[in-house]
Amino acid sequence: VMMLAAGKGTKVLLETEGDDEQDCFNALEALILDRFGEGQ
């Protein structure tokens, strides 16, 4: 389990690496934009 304790407005740098790095980045981005399913 990974926990991200970043408040609203915090800048986060995502780095992905490997054969499926773009898919991984897209999945992480979607989770963040969806607020990890936690609503507003």
Q: How far apart are CA 36 and CA 28, in angstroms?
A: 9
Q: Where are the domains of the chain?
A: 1-40
Q: What is the pLDDT of residue 12?
A: 84
Backbone angles phi, psi at 24, to 5 degrees: -65, -45
Spatial contact of 25 and 16, defined as CB atoms under 8 Å apart: yes
pTM, to two decimals = 0.69
CB atoms within 10 A of CB 14: 9
What's the pLDDT tens digit per position in 1-40?
A: 466 677 778 888 889 999 999 999 999 999 888 888 887 6
Coil, strand or helix at 8? coil
Q: What is the pLDDT of residue 2?
A: 60
Q: What is the pLDDT of residue 16?
A: 94
